[in-house]
Each structure stands twice: as C-alpha cells, then as structure tokens.
Amino acid sequence: MTRKKICVVVGSRANYSSIKSAMRAIQEHPALELQLIVTASAVLDRYGSVVKLIEKDGFKPHARVTMLIEGESPSTMAKSTGLGLLELPTLFEQLAPDVVLTVGDRFETMATTLAAAYMNIPVAHTMGGEVSGTIDESIRHAVTKFAHIHFPASPGARDRIIKLGELPQHVHMVGCPRIDLVAEILDESTGKISDQLFDMGVGERFSVEEPFILVSQHPVTTEYGSGEAQITATLEAVRELGLAAIVLWPNADAGADDISRGIRKWRERKLDDRMHFFKNLPIEVYVNLMRSTACLVGNSSSGLREGAYIGTPVVNVGTRQNMRDRGDNVIEVSYDRKDIARAIARQVEHGRYPMNPLYGNGTAGKQIADVLARETVSVQKCITY
C-alpha cells in the first residue's frame, strides 16, 4: 500500500513546538509518510538553529529554505512571504505531497498555504479560528479560507471556523499539539530547575527557589514603533516590585528591533535589578519555568494556552492576545507600568491555578495523524452560504 504523503513546513521555534507531536504521530502512523521542509527563522543561527534541534529529534528535512529578508519591517515581512512562494512550488513538485500541513498564523504560513492551494494540493491547518489581533488575525482566517481540513485547538475556535463558511465535517477540534509536549514534559520531569540555567544568556544570576517573574513580550505588528516603550514599562513594573526575573528576547515579527532596542537600553542603564536575559530556551526548560514562576508577564500566547494546562499565573499586557480564549489564570492589563505592577502583585499572591483543559488534553498530535490518514477531501472548496 502506498502511504499518504503529508508535508509539514516548519518556520520557527514556536511553529515546531506547535506541530512536533503531530509530526511524530505522522511518522509513526503506518498509513502516512512524513515530508519536512524547514524555513524562515527555523534555519537561522540567529534564532538558535531550530533545524539542528529538529534533526536531533529524528526528523529529516528534505530542504532548508532561507526566506527571511533583513529589516524586520512590515515590507520585508511581505517580501519574505514572496520568497517563500517562489521556492516552495519547486520543492512541492519534488515531493508531490498528498496533503500539506501548516501551522497557525505567521507570515510564512501564508506562503505555505498559497503555494499548496494554488498547486491543487489539499491544505490541513492547525490552530485556525482563533482571535488575536495583529496581522496574524487576518492571516489565520485567510488560511482557513484556503484550507481543506481544519484542526482548531479550542471549542470557540471550532465554532468560528464553521461560521467562516467551512464544512463542519472537515473541522476537527483536537486541542493544541503544544499541550501534548507540555503534558509529556510535566510527566517526565521533576520540575526542578538547575542553577546552571544561568550559564546561558546574559545578566544577573539568582536562586530559582525564590519567587521569580518570567517576561515574554513580542512586537505588535499593527503598533509598529511602540515596542520600545512597551517593553520598558513592563521591565520597570517588574523592577519596582523588587522581584528577580527571567526575560526572553522577542520573536522575529516586524517590530522586533524595537523591543530588542528597549531591552538593550535597559541593560545599558546597569540598574541594580536581578534580571537574566535569554535569546531562546529549550521548550523543556520553558515549561518548567512556567510551572515554577510566580507570574508570567508579557503577551506570549503561551500564557493563555500552556498556562491554562499548567495553571501558571499570567499577566497579559496589551492587545496582542485580544479575544483569544483564556482561562481564569489570566489577568488583563494595559501598557501602563502601574497597572502591570499591580496585576503582578496580585498573581504572585494568588499562586498556581488548577489545570484547565481549554486548549487540549495532550492527544492532539495523535488525533491529527488519524484524521489525515482517513479523511479525503475535494480540492475544490466552496463556501457553505
């Protein structure tokens, strides 16, 4: 029997975490064959060479495609998408996949989706139907309008996909595959964080036994130019409370330079804070930090998704996660320093929340593989109203 060929295109570290359990399930499924293309920030040293991690995990990329144009501005985001669209068709012709599986809502997802859909290859899409703000919002729904099989991560997302005119029989609420990894990590690890952590990154060292804050704040593409002020307010709030903190550098979206500049300037002020800065953290470490931290501050989607499952106290700053489904563990605040500080204080006092399966129960990857193995679709899509 010929196995159905499923091609996954991975474009970033976050992307990989969001699809890894599905990749593994596809690779192990007797009726499926996994094909892999790695691209965008996932092939760059500067973002931690995710492609090497992928290979270490036992996956074999068919091709590595550099496609990010320097500048990290709105216009280079458009041009980078164009580069992806120029290269992926040749690779899809080499691979002739039966289905292309794409993740989420980053701009490289749009390139993957358009290349496949224009070439009459059915598209399967994870994490559609969510509401978030930023250009990701439009990208996500546009990808839904090209996709043939949908794997939303939450009930609200599923309902939205159907309202967008997609056929209900092709919409499968499987939860988020990132939760699969989180469940696995929580199972396998003691939760202890070694102080060796601080051999990586730069900045102060402190004991992770004491309460510490975790900061993860990314640019909001539609608020281009405000990133520096935004991250500075957050760092000031943390400092004001006198708590130690682990601070992550931003992802590669337009505006990342603003956030990075804010962090660099903060560091050059050489305040007597107790902060340690990391470019990237292994997912295992990150999940354990989410389990240990007194509070996660910023605008990372992990606070809402993984946070629900882990029970992490979260202070979500600004508009980036607007309207994404969230549990009780999240407090919303504006970009105001005082608001942020007050909310952190409340969360530190509250402590960890009970587990909430809002974004999945740890079996998403397996469910995705099973659906891909059994479901056939017509390439010709049609809106249902």
Q: Which of the residues 198 through 227 are near a second copy (CB under 8 A)?
A: 202, 221-222, 224
Please tell me the distance from the alpha carbon of residue 221 to that of residue 219, in angstroms, as a whole number: 6
Among positions 154-173, residues that touch a second copy (CB under 8 A) are: 160, 163-165
Which positions from 104 through 143 interact with a second copy, judged by CB under 8 A? 107, 110-111, 114-115, 117-120, 131, 133-135, 137-138, 141-143
In the list 66, 207, 334, 376, the residue contacting a second copy (rule: CB under 8 A) is 66
Q: Which listed residue (90, 207, 334, 376) binds a second copy by CB under 8 A?
A: 90
Report in angstroms how near the CB of residue 85 gets to a second copy at its nearest. 3
Does position 263 interact with a second copy (CB under 8 A)? The reply is no
Long-range pairs for 231-236: beta carbons < 8 A, 24 or more residues apart: 231/259, 231/262, 231/263, 231/266, 232/262, 232/265, 232/266, 233/335, 233/336, 233/337, 233/340, 234/297, 234/298, 234/317, 234/337, 234/340, 235/262, 235/263, 235/266, 235/273, 235/275, 236/337
List residues bridging with 215 in a β-sheet. Answer: 247, 297
Pick between residue 210 and residue 379 the one whose CB is nearest to a second copy: 379
Give the binding range for a second copy (CB under 8 A) out of 18-26, 71-79, 325-333, 356-364. Answer: 71-79
Asked if residue 93 binds a second copy (CB under 8 A), the reply is yes
| E strand or H helix at 109 | helix 107-118
Residue closest to 161 by CA, chosen among 169, 153, 152: 152
Largest interatomic CA distance in the chain: 65
Q: Which is nearer to a second copy, 61 or 313 (CB)?
A: 61
Is 173 in contact with 359 (CB distance < 8 Å)? Answer: no
Q: Least separation, in Å, of the C-beta of 43 and a second copy?
A: 7
Nearest distance, CB of residue 107 and a second copy, angstroms: 7
**Does 379 contact a second copy by CB under 8 A?**
yes
Residue 89 sits in the site that holds a second copy (CB under 8 A): yes
